Chains A and B, each alone.
Chain A
Amino acid sequence: MRKTAAARAVLLRVAAVAVLALVAQGCDNQPDLLPVPTTDLSKVEPAVRNRIAAANAEFDTRTRSKTSSADLARAYGDLGMVYQAQDLTTPAEVAYINAGRLDSRDKRWPYLLAHLYADQGRVSEATRYFEMARHIDPTYVAAEIYLGQMYLQNGDLDKARSIFEGAKGDKEGKAAALAGLGKVALTAGHYQEAADWLEEALRISPSASRLRQPLATAYRGLGDAEKARANLAQFAIDGQEPSFPDPIVDAMSDKLVVSHVLLRRGQRFAKEGRFDLSEDAFRAAVASDPGNAEALANLGISLANLGRTEEAQKNLIESLHLDDNSAVAHFSLGVIYDRQGEDAAAIAQYRSAIERDPNNIQAAVYLADAIMRSRSSLDAVQWYRQALSKQPKSTRIALSLAFALIKAADHVEARKVLETALSQQPQSAEVINALARLLATAPAAEVRDGPRALTMAKSLFEKNSSLEIGQTYGMALAETGNFTKAAELQQDIISSYERSGLPVDKSFLVHNLTAYRQSQSVREGWSAQDLVFWPRSPAAALVRR
């Protein structure tokens, strides 16, 4: 049945082309038109087949009656866009050629044809058609940028420079044009000029981290090894180039229905933090393939990042109904529950995520956090340990593990964990503060080391006189017998908290002040209400529903 329908469609289109050719013969300036080749769609997903069939039906409708060359050109062009969006390049190419022949004033057809050729690596043809598009509309900055890139790739540096010079006058294309000028200069070995252009491009588009690599090359060429190193340190292999508007390609891309391509597009946007755009792409992917669990899960994650918790939850649950094996979906659903304070549900989802992906460190940490908040800290210890074994240099995990051990009254182990963390991160204020406080307050004498605690806390306090570090300093002063100074400091801390309005367990502060005034050390480093015992990652921060 499908074959018959397809054959009928082919015949219709051939007939349409024949009619058009006849019409063309009768009219002045009507060009020869090529038949748009048919494509075997038996192996593509139904959404693609349906979209192509709809596009062909629309084309047939639009070309059945006598139309102007411009209308006919648009019919061909629109058909070409649908084909190109699904990467069916051969029919797209012919459709664009016909469109261009029928209406040589519409820049879209040579422009999209140029992209089609560029995607196939046909640089010479791409250059010719970008040139044609630019000739039709010299103000379309995307055509200028791509054309400049083509000339640069061709090694035609003078032409590339000239094109980019022209494009940099356009506000929205300026960063890309400057980047192009930088690369032209770099290719020519003009390092200072390259560095200047690329620096300027980065000033306008600071997120274009891909430019750091050519910029580093320029600095290296100038003999400035330090700047080269600094830029390479900021270089990201999956970073961005400066962007510029390209509504023609956007319009073509909107016709895409291939679900996994939409999925990948959404993931790219999500990686860039553009969750508004990723939501659109994932929704389109789901529309093309409602059974695509990955698309649903990604949609849920995007929605969660947009703060739309309920919608996110719905999509993630639906995704897991389709495919229960996705560790990411389980983890994301766990975060959703976590945000709503539903620790038990969150714990179940995190466990499911880890079962499916034992290397999911984030799930292990979030699970441990949730357990720490709701149950025995000893259970949390094992998950933090597991996470730390896979990411031994993580300060966050080491601290969480130490606090879980302290909560479980295992101060000996806690000290070991903090000592290891300190050896790995000797400058970490968080680690120094935690270890100093433990050394000053641990109930077990073998764990305590007042003089060392005092040295560490004093040094830290001199660099950063925060209220948290001040408390530690006070505890160390008391442990080493300097109760007067400890009490003075503690009084200041209490007053500062009162002035700042910051949330704090005032009774804990007062208890310690009283102890210092009575010439006593303290044996509790942290209030039971301290947030260190109620950990929650920013991603799982509680939301109001």
Chain B
Amino acid sequence: MTKSPQSRFGAATIWTVVSLFVAVAGFGALFKLYSASPTAITRAAASDIFVDATEASGVNFVHTNGMKGEYYFAEIIGSGVAVFDYDNDGRVDILVLNGAALGETRSSDTSSSCSARLFHNELTVGESGAPAVKFKDVTEKSGLCSSGYGMGVATGDYDNDGFLDVFITQFAGPNRLFRNQGDGTFKEVTAIAGVGGNGRWGTSASFFDYDRDGFLDLYVANYVDYSLADTRRCYNFTSARDYCAPVAFRPVPGILYHNLGNGTFEDVSINSGITKAFGNGLGTIAADVNGDGWPDLFVANDGNPNQLWINQKDGTFRNEALERGVAVNVDGAAEAGMGVDIADVYGTGNEDIFVTHLTREKATLYRNLGHGGQFEDASAVAGLYVATTPFTGFGTAFVDYDNDGWPDIVIANGAVHVIEDQVRAHDPFPLHQTKQLLHNLGDGKFADVSTKAGSAFSLSEVGRGLAVADLDNDGGMDFVVANNNGRLRIFLNKVGALRPWVGLRLLTGSRDAYGAKVEFRRHGGRTLWRRVHSDGSYLSASDPRLVIGLGEASEIEELVVHWVDGTEERFPPPALRTYTTVAQGSGILVAKP
């Protein structure tokens, strides 16, 4: 990607911006209001917020969970999806993981083929200015061939070459790292890098630079001590056979890898202290929750107390989840943590934590009270009980779908225990539920707008992975859902572009500046805070670019970036309705006392 100074800031301006679209021919008319453009993607009612663009996108991927009536626990857990721009062409691509045959049929499974599929975004813009999202399966050509039973995926540029690499966790197989070679191809480097794991069942993973040495480290959550050889049988409350609950198995600790900066990693799990507490790890996300400038790590555990690993700034972590109020809910109960995301829900500059859970447990919003990262369960006041208790939530993300400046929530739901009504209807996989869209009202409350969000949200499927990105570069955040034993779904946002927005890609060196925080000061509006990350959700990785909705206050005063190394830089207001690249070292350094 080229970088060039934007002339309207004058030659003296030392920050660097570039429209991503200079690399994409024919995008001149892209930034028309989306609603003014006829969509060729799908039939959509006028009121639809999201449309299901799966069919039109050319992606026809159906996940297989390998089930054959044996109720293998792994069947209901996967899999994840990543949305990331692997070739830096300014268009976000999709990598979706797949399961494989389980049990006795495994020997004849697809172990030699590529179960995960990589789809290149071939986005075009028609004469009318309407974007048309099309994807092309480039798996074999790319060399990103991951066989086996895929679970989770993380994306991060571990070798700082400017191209996002891919880490995949697996059930019953080693985790895998694929290095992006920068020419549209990948090479597996698991053995060299030393990140294959310890034979445990890996789930979500996070790339983050915990020691601020400029190289992305890697945390891998592990789920439970389970293998296909485990023949225990579990039953539901009616006494019929059902999938086991995770509490039937022993939890196992996660793994922290320190990036040595030479293409290899060192397992520092024990020395860093992160093996001192563990549960059935499913969701992970890194963020500086106590505001000390060092990235911390949140792990959502399925049925055990969560962990909040506070960075001790010396290569070690301390689990402070209980004392900081995020281990358990307001009743002191551990919940079945699945997906997780972190964002500034209340507009205070403090980042809040959202975790999805089982039916009856509601999703939990831990409000950050400030005071160095103290939290309280704010789910009741936020209106999350009524909205979320009927569902088992997995993939989730804060996404400001209407660009009003307030992070909303999208959730992919899907049960883990058979649903009686669906059994009665002879459904072969009676776990499906609808997705949800929760609108942030800006007063600490969320409204369930799923029924108004379009037919996309009435699709009842077994949702698991979920990742967000602006797939058609129109400024509206889209999302992708990986369904268990179902089709990958692509949902495009119809309303985001109706409000002004700013797109940012933050770079430290030539890689995405994971962990950097953006402070967006506006005339006539509150300051907006956003953080660069690709982790969170469930088994999935999102695009690290930021789309910042400006709502009714689009006059930008200035942009301040808080980089992970502790420095702060000021940048002039970026252009509206386009993507701008902001590189560390090109702004005005903010002096600190």
Contact surface of A with B, Cβ cutoff 8 Å: 37, 39-40, 43-45, 47-48, 86-90, 118-124, 152-155, 157, 183, 186-187, 210-214, 216-217, 220-221, 228-229, 232, 235, 237, 239, 241, 258-261
With A40-B424, A229-B323, A259-B239 already in contact, the answer to whether A121 and B390 are too (CB < 8 A) is yes
Q: Which residues of A contact B107 (CB under 8 A)?
A: none
Once A86-B238, A155-B380 are accepted as A-B contacts, the answer to whether A214 and B330 lie under 8 Å apart by CB is yes
Whether A214 contacts B240 by the Cβ 8 Å rule is: no
The digit string for B377-401, where 1 denotes a CB below 8 A from any CB of A, is 0111111011011110000000000
Besides the contacts A213-B322, A216-B323, what 10 more A-B pairs have beta carbons closer than 8 Å? A44-B238, A45-B239, A90-B424, A121-B359, A123-B386, A186-B376, A211-B332, A217-B325, A237-B305, A261-B239
Q: Does B236 contact A (CB under 8 A)?
A: yes
Decide if B331 touches A124 in the complex (CB within 8 Å): no
Contact A260 B235, beta carbon cutoff 8 Å = yes
Expressed in whole angstroms, the Cα–Cα distance for A122 and B334 within the complex equals 21
Q: Is the CB of B332 within 8 A of A258?
A: no
Task: From A90, A213, A220, A221, give the contact of B332 (CB < 8 A).
Answer: A213
> Are A90 and B390 closer than 8 Å at their CB atoms?
no
Q: Which of B239, B330, B386 contacts A124 (CB 8 A)?
A: B386
B422 to chain A, nearest CB (A): 11
B22 at the binding interface (Cβ < 8 Å): no
Q: Which B residues are within 8 Å of any A CB, using their own CB? A: 235-241, 304-305, 322-323, 325, 328, 330-334, 359-360, 362, 369, 374, 376, 378-383, 385-386, 388-391, 420-421, 423-424, 445
Flag if A153 contacts B362 (CB, 8 Å): yes
Given A88-B420, A153-B362, A154-B380, A48 contacting B239 (CB threshold 8 A) = yes
The closest CB in chain B to the CB of A126 belongs to B389
* Contact status A121-B360, CB under 8 Å: yes
Q: List 30 A-B contacts (CB under 8 A).
A: A86-B237, A86-B239, A87-B238, A88-B238, A88-B420, A118-B360, A120-B359, A120-B390, A121-B360, A121-B390, A123-B389, A152-B380, A153-B379, A153-B389, A154-B380, A155-B380, A155-B382, A155-B383, A155-B385, A157-B381, A186-B376, A210-B331, A213-B331, A214-B332, A217-B376, A220-B374, A237-B333, A258-B235, A258-B239, A260-B235
- Which of B237, B322, B359, B379 is the most central at the interface, judged by chain A CB atoms within 10 Å of its CB? B237
Chain A interface, >50% SS class: helix
Q: A121-B359, A123-B389, A155-B382 are in contact. Are A260 and B239 (CB under 8 A)?
A: yes
Check A119–B360 contact: CB distance below 8 A.
Answer: yes
A235 / chain B contacts, CB cutoff of 8 Å = 322, 332
Q: Do residues A228 and B323 form an inter-chain contact, with CB atoms below 8 A?
A: yes
Most buried by A among B334, B376, B380, B423: B380
Task: Determine how close the nearest CB of chain B comes to the CB of A485; give it in whole angstroms.
Answer: 49
Secondary structure dominating the interface of B: loop
Tell me the complex Cα distance, A152–B333, Å: 16
Q: Are A187 and B380 in contact (CB under 8 A)?
A: yes
Question: What residues of B have a CB within 8 angstroms of the CB of A237 in the complex?
Answer: 304-305, 328, 332-334
Residues of A within 8 A of B386 (CB): 123-124, 153-154
Q: B residues within 8 A CB of A48?
A: 238-239
CB distance from B353 to the nearest CB of A (A): 15
Shortest distance in angstroms between B407's beta carbon and chain A's nearest beta carbon? 19
Residues on A with C-beta less than 8 A from B359 are 120-121
**Assembled-state Cα–Cα distance A472/B389 (Å):** 63
Tell me the complex Cα distance, A322–B159, Å.
59
Q: Is the CB of B332 within 8 A of A212?
A: yes
Complex contacts, B330 vs chain A, CB 8 Å: 183, 186-187, 214, 217
A220 proximity list for chain B (CB < 8 A)? 323, 325, 374
A37 and B238 contact, CB distance less than 8 A: no
Q: List the 4 shortest-distance A-B pairs measured between CB atoms, nearest first.
A: A121-B389, A87-B237, A213-B332, A153-B385
CB neighbours (8 Å) of A153 from chain B are 362, 379-380, 385-386, 389
